[in-house]
Amino acid sequence: MSTKKQKPTTPGARHRTAPVFDEVTVSKPTVKRLVKGKHQSGGRNKQGRMTSRHRGGGHKRRYRQIDFNRDKHDVPAKVQTIEYDPNRSARIALVAYADGEKRYIIAPDKLSVGDTIVSSTSAIEPDVGNAMPMSKMPPGTFIHNVELNPGKGAQLCRSAGTVAQMVAKTDKFVTVKLPSSEVRMILGSCFATVGTTSNTDHFNTSIGKAGRNRWKGKRPHTRGVAMNPVDHPMGGGEGKASGGHPRSPWGQSSKGLKTRKRKKLSDRYIVRGRKKSKK
């Protein structure tokens, strides 16, 4: 996966860095059963009131049903296609199992059409795309699609280019280093997939123009310091005032305010937090 930069034939193309879809093999979903319509909320709740600002519009999408559980065990699957998914940053892969069933999975990096992958509850080869309990993996394995609760499905390391590392294991728990540098313990019976998620150069892209954000369903954002005092706590003042302490429109402090519960249950499993100690 790489990116390309166009000649500045238009103002929007001048600073645009676009992804290259070399690894994508088909332009449309091939299995209609795995695709369904997707409702857009526009940031409104069931009463019709706006609860999330700066959302709305955007291109129509169809949702691809992704298999995050990988619960079809000990049945080999062959990769049929690598596809683009508008609902996520990583690519997805259509796999066909030996019994004829087809499913979508998050495509790992360097997985190609024709490769065979398998999910198993026992120890198997830690090849790219294989899924197994983390207790069966050797320490040092790079993983993605990590479960937090057995059988719930993958919750961690699902976006483009993310990867975690299983650094140690005990009888019941494994220790995993996450992309945020947080180190935490997870039950060894939780599943994970070997490898890094695809589209690793996603973070090098530049949209080039504001209209591209509108295509994604993102509406314009107005800075608080540009508003009047009646509209925002940071508004008003003579000239270009700094706005004072950074706050939300409802007065809550931002840029450093800790909102995590002090006695959250999962704190006992965190070995080292994301915040690195100052030396």
Structure tokens at 56: 């709305």
- Our count of domains for the chain comes to 2
**165, 31: one domain:** yes
Could you give the dihedral angle defined by the CA atoms of residues 110, 205, 42 and 59, in that order, rounded to the nearest 10 degrees?
-80
User: Other CB atoms closer than 10 Å to residue 54's CB: what's the count?
Assistant: 13
Q: Among the residues of 140-239, which ranges form H helices?
A: 210-215
The residue count for the chain: 279
Residue 31 contacts by C-beta under 8 Å, 6 or more apart in sequence? 94, 102
Name residue 18's beta-bridge partners.
4
CATH number (domain holding residue 240): 4.10.950.10
CB distance 101 to 121 below 8 Å: no
Q: Is residue 209 part of a domain?
A: no
CB atoms within 10 A of CB 186: 24
Among 153, 171, 203, identify where a domain stops.
Answer: 203
pTM of the model as a whole: 0.90
- Say whether both 54 and 181 belong to one domain: yes
User: pLDDT by residue for the chain (279 residues), tens digit each?
Assistant: 578 888 999 999 999 998 889 899 999 998 999 999 999 999 999 999 999 999 999 999 999 999 999 999 999 999 999 999 999 999 999 999 999 999 999 999 999 999 999 999 988 899 999 999 999 999 999 999 999 999 999 999 999 999 999 999 999 999 999 999 999 999 999 999 999 999 999 999 999 999 999 999 999 999 999 999 999 999 999 999 998 899 999 999 988 888 889 999 999 999 998 876 554
- Evaluate whether residue 214 is within a structural domain: no
Per the structure, the complete domain to which residue 253 belongs is given by: 223-274
In the numeric block, the tokens 């490769």 are attached to 115
Whole-angstrom distance, CA of residue 276 vs CA of residue 173: 23
Burial class (CB in 10 A: 0-12, 13-18, 19+), 209: middle
